[in-house]
Chains A and B, each alone.
Chain A
Amino acid sequence: GQQVMQIPQYQHVQEGEDFTTYCNSSTTLSNIQWYKQRPGGHPVFLIQLVKSGEVKKQKRLTFQFGEAKKNSSLHITATQTTDVGTYFCAARASGGFKTIFGAGTRLFVKA
Chain B
Amino acid sequence: GAGVSQTPSNKVTEKGKYVELRCDPISGHTALYWYRQSLGQGPEFLIYFQGTGAADDSGLPNDRFFAVRPEGSVSTLKIQRTERGDSAVYLCASSFDRGQGYTFGSGTRLTVV
Docked-complex contact B43 and A97, CB < 8 angstroms:
no
B45 within 8 A of A: yes
Chain B: interface size category: 20 to 34
A27 within 8 A of B: no
> Given that A43-B91, A48-B101 are contacting pairs, would A98 and B106 also be in contact in the complex, using a CB cutoff of 8 Å?
no
Docked-complex contact B100 and A97, CB < 8 angstroms:
no
A44 within 8 A of B: yes
Shortest B80–chain A CB gap in Å is 23
B43-79 interface with A by 8 A CB criterion: 43-45, 48, 55-56, 58-59
> Given that A97-B56, A99-B33, A104-B42 are contacting pairs, would A42 and B107 also be in contact in the complex, using a CB cutoff of 8 Å?
yes
Docked-complex contact A98 and B99, CB < 8 angstroms:
no
Question: Chain B residues with Cβ under 8 A from A88's Cβ?
Answer: 42-43
A63-111 interface with B by 8 A CB criterion: 88, 90, 96-104
Docked-complex contact A44 and B42, CB < 8 angstroms:
no
Listed A/B pairs (7) with beta-carbon separation below 8 Å: A45-B103, A47-B101, A96-B56, A97-B55, A97-B98, A101-B45, A102-B42
